[in-house]
């Protein structure tokens, strides 16, 4: 790092720290009030908590931590009710197409939701050096959050089947590269999360939501450069409120998901800075990502046990939430 600052002509202009505790302690002296934590998931607690304890607002990517028990420990420090210290980078919450779809759902444009299917497919696994708990935990957390956000309720049962093709296998995956997560909700919705690292056509994120009065389809696969469709169908006709959204144009090379969600990533960081400077509540907080982690942990355990159905529940009381997970065999 010292060599890098010298090469960039920043020697003597940039203060370097050897650990997050040292930097957190210096934030007051340096006038630092906002920090972005960019580290592997397994280091989130190590790198994030010193700033939280110092009262420094932080932006951190999903998930909270690698292990669910550690995520609860993290939230014990932050508090589930505190929405002014930590914003989580679940970028779908900032995607224009998905935000629009959520608004339409909340307006009951397709009536009462009966079925939901959230799809996330990559063309290939991450590189071997990437530290991950695998397809369900690390990748599935996105669509788990998507489903909970769209529905406004949390699953009450979760089951998962996992499959593997040896030519696509990655050391990062927990025994498979394709998974179907099935769940139900207290209101009677049946849902599925489709996860795969074998989608040779390219990155694919889409949703089917079927209601009593119509159907919504988000993100029909068109590849790059899109566009992203939000289609509403009632009685066999496309609704006038159906819209399309452009992907961000990018010059290769780039991660395959980048054109689809780059604008959302940028908007997430803008929202973080805006809310932090105004001392307002953050839009996506530890409660949302903890919910998604409980969801995928249940799916992960179900897959390990051959697809058994597990019970799930959530609450905004951290102690009671932990107990629910213990009682349901997730902790």
Return the axis-axis angle of helices 20-30 and 44-53, rounded to nearest 10°. Answer: 30
Instruction: Parse the chain into domains and list their residue ranges.
Output: 92-264
What per-residue confidence (pLDDT) applies to 155?
98
Give how far Cα 167 sits from Cα of 120, 139, 164, 280, Å: 20, 20, 9, 48
What per-residue confidence (pLDDT) applies to 88?
95
What per-residue confidence (pLDDT) applies to 10?
57
Structure tokens at 280: 């307002």
pTM of the model: 0.93
- Please tell me the distance from the alpha carbon of residue 76 to that of residue 82, in angstroms, as a whole number: 11
CB 196 within 8 A of CB 207: no
Mean pLDDT confidence for 16-35: 94
- Please tell me the distance from the alpha carbon of residue 323 to that of residue 331, in angstroms, as a whole number: 9
Residue 170 pLDDT class (50, 70, 90 cuts): low
219-256 confidence digits (pLDDT tens): 988 778 889 999 999 999 999 999 999 999 898 888 88
Structure tokens at 91: 């970028």
What per-residue confidence (pLDDT) applies to 165?
66
- Please tell me the distance from the alpha carbon of residue 194 to that of residue 118, in angstroms, as a whole number: 6
Which residue, 79, 69, 29, is CA-closest to 49?
79
CB atoms within 10 A of CB 269: 16
Structure tokens at 58: 């932080």
272-327 confidence digits (pLDDT tens): 999 999 999 999 999 999 999 999 999 999 999 999 999 999 999 999 999 999 99
Structure tokens at 2: 């010292």
Give bridge partners of residue 218 from the DSSP assignment: 207, 230
Residue 205 pLDDT class (50, 70, 90 cuts): very high
14/326: higher pLDDT: 326
Mean pLDDT confidence for 75-79: 95
Beta strand pairing call for 215-218 and 204-211 = antiparallel
Statement: residue 173 has pLDDT above 70? no
Give how far Cα 204 sits from Cα of 118, 143, 179, 242, Å: 11, 12, 15, 20
Q: Is 200 exposed, middle or buried (0-12, 13-18, 19+ CB in 10 A)?
A: exposed
Structure tokens at 146: 């998507």
- Please tell me the distance from the alpha carbon of residue 161 to that of residue 239, in angstroms, as a whole number: 35
- Please tell me the distance from the alpha carbon of residue 36 to that of residue 32, in angstroms, as a whole number: 11
Statement: residue 57 has pLDDT above 90? yes
C-alpha atoms less than 13 angstroms from C-alpha of 305 in its C-beta half-sphere: 13
- The CATH code of the domain at 92-264 is 3.30.360.10
What per-residue confidence (pLDDT) applies to 226?
84
- Please tell me the distance from the alpha carbon of residue 264 to that of residue 281, in angstroms, as a whole number: 19
Structure tokens at 141: 């957390």
């Amino acid at each position: 790092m010292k060599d890098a600052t010298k090469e960039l002509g920043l020697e003597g202009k940039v203060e370097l720290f050897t650990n997050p505790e040292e930097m957190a302690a210096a934030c007051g002296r340096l006038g630092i009030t906002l920090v972005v934590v960019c580290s592997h998931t397994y280091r989130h607690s190590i790198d994030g908590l010193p700033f939280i304890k110092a009262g420094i607002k932080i932006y951190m990517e999903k998930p909270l931590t690698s292990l669910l028990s550690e995520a609860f420990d993290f939230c014990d420090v932050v508090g589930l009710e505190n929405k002014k210290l930590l914003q989580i980078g679940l970028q779908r919450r900032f995607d224009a197409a998905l935000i629009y779809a959520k608004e339409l759902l909340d307006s009951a444009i397709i009536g009462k939701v009966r079925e939901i299917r959230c799809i996330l497919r990559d063309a290939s696994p991450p590189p071997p050096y990437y530290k991950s708990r695998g397809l369900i935990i690390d990748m599935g957390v996105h669509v788990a959050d998507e489903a909970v956000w769209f529905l406004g309720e949390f699953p009450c049962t979760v089951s998962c089947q996992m499959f593997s093709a040896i030519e696509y296998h990655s050391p990062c995956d927990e025994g498979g590269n394709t998974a179907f997560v099935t769940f139900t909700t207290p209101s009677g919705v049946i849902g599925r999360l489709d996860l795969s690292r074998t989608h040779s056509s390219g990155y694919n994120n889409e949703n089917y939501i079927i209601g009593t009065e119509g159907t919504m389809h988000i993100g029909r696969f068109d590849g790059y450069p899109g566009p992203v469709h939000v289609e509403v169908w009632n009685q066999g006709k496309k609704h006038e409120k159906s819209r399309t959204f452009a992907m961000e144009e990018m010059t290769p090379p780039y991660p395959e998901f980048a054109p689809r969600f780059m604008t959302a990533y940028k908007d997430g960081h803008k929202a973080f800075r805006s809310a932090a400077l105004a001392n307002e509540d953050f839009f996506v907080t530890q409660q949302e990502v903890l919910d998604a982690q409980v969801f995928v942990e249940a799916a992960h355990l179900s897959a390990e046990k051959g697809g058994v159905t597990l019970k799930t529940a959530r609450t905004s009381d951290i102690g009671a939430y932990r107990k629910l997970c213990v009682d349901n065999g997730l902790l």
